[in-house]
Amino acid sequence: MWVSIVAIVFGVGAMVLVFSSRFGVDPRLVDSPLIGEPVPDIELEQLNGQGPLALTDLQGDVLVINFWASWCFPCRGEHPALTAAARDYRDQGVTIVGMIYQDQPGPVNAFLDELGRGGDNYRYLLDPNSRCAVEFGVFGVRETYFVNAEGIIVGKIQGGVTAGALRSTLDQILAGELPTL
């Protein structure tokens, strides 16, 4: 009888340990070896034809770098949250970078014509050879990185971003805090 009681207590304790270790943590939020590192110094062509732009040229702004594609159906769902964040944080030094992943300008422009474009603080960069995606270690679309004004990567979300997650993370970064992703 005592063996059964000990086994049950041990089993319950193990379950509590396993389940409590991840409760309250969004499973899409993942560690990245890039957290705490400078944003890669990569220069890419802008979708709008205004020439090349390096991510390091945007230092001084808080960046939200979102890897997406027109062929990615779930990207349609997060697009309104990203354009709203660009609008809401325009005057606070936030720039959204739509990193176009394995896609072509024609379908990308059709996507943006249908769903809307961000304002002047929303940059769309072409990554035709996935050079930037490789530098960031992207597994596939929908991945979003957050970069502070000093050019240091401070957070990553794998999967879709929500308006709430964007607001919370940007508010923390703008307050000089590390985001609690």
Instruction: Render pLDDT for 95-147 as a digit per residue (tens, 0 to 9).
Output: 999 999 999 999 999 999 999 999 999 999 999 899 999 999 998 899 999 99
Strand order in the sheet with 122-127: 122-127, 94-101, 62-68, 143-147, 153-158
pLDDT in tens, 57-72: 999 999 999 999 999 9
CB count in 10 Å sphere of residue 113: 9
Which residues 6+ apart lie within 8 Å of 72 measured at CB? Answer: 141, 142
Q: What is the pLDDT of residues 125-136, one digit of tens each?
A: 999 899 999 999
Q: CA-to-CA distance for 95 and 65, rounded, in angstroms? A: 9
| Nearest residue to 92 via CA among 61, 116, 59 | 61
